[in-house]
Amino acid sequence: MGSVASMPDVVLPVLDEAAAIPGVLARLPGGYDPIVVDNGSTDRSAEVALRLGARVVMEPARGFGAACFTGLRAATSDVVCFMDCDGSLDPCDLPRVATPVVSGEADLVVGARHATSGGAWPFHARIANWALALVMAQRVGDRVRDIGPMRAARREALVELGMTDRRFGWPLEMVVLAVAAGWRIREVPVAYAPRIGRSKVTGTLRGTALTVLDMARVMW
């Protein structure tokens, strides 16, 4: 088990999230080190993050998984967290997600989203996520009910999993490979609020459809 004194790095993939970045960084718990991965923003997201003291790395190849993988490679802490940087997730929930990994009680912890308002999770996105979780439960059990983007695991172990998806299938592929590797997986509740700005994924039917297709490729 790694040293508990090593606080987690937090990988924050961004694509035009300049309006949300200040609030997210301001609410990070003390000691949690943000790594902002700019995935081709045109709104000076990287500039905003740098000004606020975050580590910033660039990933020009578009894709949620590509940005997350770049952040993973840039991380140096023993434990790495991932979360969206659009204001929909509360960084104050990170210790709840990271602590079981830091303490050695779990190998992967996934935050199960609980909407704080009716507009937080569009109905079509909720149904798509539920359907994917149902299919996954048939294959790997019911350890995870939500394919949420807030999660934590050990950095070296994640690299060794050998994830190859670089699009929206990344979160699901991580769980599927972790189950196959015999990891201890835990799910904890986290708050889910309306995002700041325009949604590029689950807030649109097209974005949701692309996410479902990417995740279906992982499952089959």
For the stretch 103-135, pLDDT in tens is 999 999 999 999 887 666 666 566 666 666 676
> Rounded to two decimals, what is the model's pTM?
0.85
Look at domain 9-219 and name its CATH class.
alpha beta
- The CA-to-CA distance between both ends of the chain, in Å, stands at 33
pLDDT, position 56: 98
Higher pLDDT, 90 or 135: 90
Confidence band for 215, pLDDT divided at 50, 70 and 90: low
Helices of type H across the chain: 21-26, 45-51, 64-74, 94-102, 123-140, 155-161, 170-180, 205-219
Radius of gyration of the chain (CA): 16
Mean pLDDT (the chain) is: 86
Checking if the pLDDT of 205 tops 70, the result is no
pLDDT, position 23: 98
Q: Is the dihedral of CA 33, 67, 115, 137 positive or negative?
A: negative
Higher pLDDT, 106 or 216: 106
Our measurement of the distance from residue 96's CA atom to the centroid of its chain's CA atoms, rounded to an integer in Å, reads 14
